[in-house]
Amino acid sequence: MDPSSLPERLNLAQVFLHARAAQQPTRPAIYFEDQVISYGQLADATHRANAVYKGLGLEWEQRVLLMLPDVPQFASAWFAAVQAGGAVSAVNPGLKADEVSYYLNYTRAKLVVTDAPTAAVIDSVRAQCPHLKHVLVAGGEAGKHLDYDAELARAKPDTSIADTHRDDPCVWLYTSGSTGFPKAAVHKQHDFVFNALTYGLPVLKYGPGDIGLSIPRLAFGYALGSNLLFPLLAGGATALFKEKPTPEKFFEMLKRHRPTILTAVPTALNGILNAPGLRDADFSSLRVAISAGEALPAELYQRWKQRTGVEILDGIGSAEMFHIFITNRLGDVKLGSLGRVVDGYEAKVCDDQGQPVAHGDVGTLWVRGDSMALEYWQQHEKSKSTFRGEWCVSADKFQRSEDGYFYFCGRGDDMLKVGGKWLSPVEVENVLLQHPSVREAAVVAFKDADGLDKPRAFVALNEGHSASEELGEAIKAHVRATLEPFKAPRQVRFLDALPRSDRGKVLKTELRA
């Protein structure tokens, strides 16, 4: 399939699942606990879910909301929604009542597939959610709700696939700003196929012998691509687990399923390296790890590579573009950079007027490619400022080298101007992490006595180190000795751990407050 000329009639369920299931029905598609689910079994469950959805009145372009952990039912529920011609979105389970109410009303979903604990939360807000008609509970304990697994077992498989257009809206991916609830980037059918054919298969080199494992959850587009869509398109498999993604669970999955490709974020990689189970872990099955979501410190890359021998391909993607569009590659890793543009995409670094800046100067990242979303749902003004013709204007500040490598400097609202000079928090954070006492670090601005912006560092310490005024001064001196003095934090504050979102990103708004 040519990513530059995809067929006019296109359905993701057919491309990513049913075409492969027809060729290799007995081949493993999902490893989960003691289960091995074949392509044929996953396709059958999807056909049955398709029948259940239609029996409950799902029509084309209507929304289906998933609030599920990483279980096999996530895959069948997701593929069935697009097979039926619906639009699917997914969020993590375990949300608070106000978050559940927000997503139900924002999507106006008539159908929700969830687990028993989240169903109880839905019950508590259901009176506030007039669009919701049916709650299907996967994994047992459905109570008064429909039992997803039992409904599928009773249903006659409906093998019909909606004759959708490649430009039909079909998936919502959520992106969170600095404040408020997440907004949805509305994606078309062909966006996911385009990125899989330009990044997923050629860069990660997914093949039939690969088994994926992800620390981020399938509710996020990053993991959805790397640990479900890409392996299935290649004829490989994915290993899923529903528990919290702790280092201990990672070591268990590594030993049990011997994955070959790891999807991760820097925080998780750092946690693995600091966990007691590291000394007994066998990383020999892994051929590559990918990292995104936050900056990968050079110091962390070097520690990981030295201990595991596994290459990390750091890259950047976004909900607006579905997945990664700038990345390092096997045999072409430029330490400290996010690599080069993925074939099929274009990127440039621009000033506030949208004009490209000189190589090495800091500017805003603009990107274009055929996986760009249509809009943010119910965010017209924000859509206009982000989606400008063929270009997606990010909130990220970058530098581009003359030889085409991109360097992340920070989000636009994270950048500091100190004494009239730009300061990249990422640069300072990387140096802080080189101090032997520092486990985690984040840099934000604060106002000094004269009302001027100055850098403040928040650090969490390694075991064996205690917070003290003397240590704070030593950390500041370490940065001054490595970088220009104006970049050194004027204050160092100690925390047990940095506050993070469910995506693993540091919540700098909390630190600023």
DSSP 229: I
How confident is the model over 97-153, as pLDDT tens digits? 999 999 999 999 999 999 999 999 999 999 999 999 999 999 999 999 999 999 999
pLDDT of residue 506: 84
Q: Quick one: how far is CA 118 from the chain centroid?
A: 22
Q: Quick one: how far is CA 390 from the chain centroid?
A: 23
Cα gap 327→154, rounded to integer Å: 45
pLDDT of residue 282: 97
Evaluate whether 8 touches 112 at the Cβ level (below 8 Å).
Answer: no
Cα gap 415→110, rounded to integer Å: 42
3-class SS letters over 341-397: ECCCCEEEEECCCCCECCCCCCEEEEEECCCCCCEECCCHHHHHHHEECCEEEEEEE
In percent, the amount of the chain with pLDDT more than 70 equals 97
C-beta atoms surrounding 68 within 10 Å: 29
Taking Cα atoms as reference points, which of 295, 409, 417, 400 lies closest to residue 350? Answer: 400
Range 41-51 average pLDDT: 98
Beta pairing class for 324-327 and 312-317: antiparallel
Spatial strand order of the sheet with 491-494 comes to 438-447, 453-461, 491-494
Beta pairing class for 169-175 and 134-137: unpaired
313 contacts: CB under 8 Å, gap ≥ 6: 203, 204, 288, 289, 290, 291, 327, 328, 329, 330, 333, 339
Cα gap 490→468, rounded to integer Å: 15
pLDDT of residue 297: 84
pLDDT of residue 513: 80
Distances (CA, A) of 465 to 151, 262, 462, 475: 55, 31, 6, 12
Domain layout of the chain by residue ranges: 12-400, 414-512
Q: What type of residue is 383?
A: S
3-class SS letters over 115-172: CHHHHHHHHHHHHHCCCCCEEEECCCCCCCCEEHHHHHHHCCCCCCCCCCECCCEEEE
Range 54-72 average pLDDT: 97
How confident is the model over 150-181, as pLDDT tens digits? 999 999 999 999 999 999 999 999 986 545 68
pLDDT at 420 over 70: no
How confident is the model over 243-266, as pLDDT tens digits? 999 999 999 999 999 999 999 998
pLDDT at 421 over 90: no
Q: If pLDDT is split at 50, 70 and 90, which confidence band does 280 have?
A: very high
Cα gap 380→277, rounded to integer Å: 48
Evaluate whether 376 touches 440 at the Cβ level (below 8 Å).
Answer: no
Range 344-356 average pLDDT: 95
Please state whether 365 falls in left (phi above 0), alpha (psi between -120 and 50) or beta: beta
Residue 288 sits at the vertex; the CA angle it makes with 286 and 292, to the nearest 5 degrees, is: 125
* Mean of the per-residue pLDDT values of the chain: 93
Q: Hey, which residues does 171 pair with through a beta bridge?
A: 88, 187
Q: If pLDDT is split at 50, 70 and 90, which confidence band does 416 have?
A: confident
pLDDT at 482 over 70: yes
pLDDT at 509 over 60: yes
Stated length of the chain: 513
Cα gap 242→31, rounded to integer Å: 12
Which class is 414-512 in CATH?
alpha beta
Cα gap 70→30, rounded to integer Å: 11
Beta pairing class for 491-494 and 453-461: parallel
Instruction: Give one DSSP letter per residue of 178-208, joined into a string.
Output: SSSS-EEEEEEHHHHHHHIIIIITTTT---T
Q: Which residue has the tokens 């498989």?
A: 157
How confident is the model over 289-304, as pLDDT tens digits? 999 988 788 889 999 9
Range 211-230 average pLDDT: 97
For the record, the structure tokens of 115 come out as: 């687990």
pLDDT of residue 294: 80
Please state which CATH number belongs to domain 12-400: 3.40.50.12780
For the record, the structure tokens of 306 come out as: 């030295």
Of the chain, the end-to-end C-alpha distance in Å amounts to 50
CA atoms in the 13 A half-sphere facing the CB of 222: 23
| Three-state secondary structure call for residue 232 | helix
Q: Is 482 exposed, middle or buried (0-12, 13-18, 19+ CB in 10 A)?
A: middle
Range 384-388 average pLDDT: 96
pLDDT of residue 178: 47
For the record, the structure tokens of 58 come out as: 């799902």
Evaluate whether 414 touches 508 at the Cβ level (below 8 Å).
Answer: yes
pLDDT of residue 419: 66
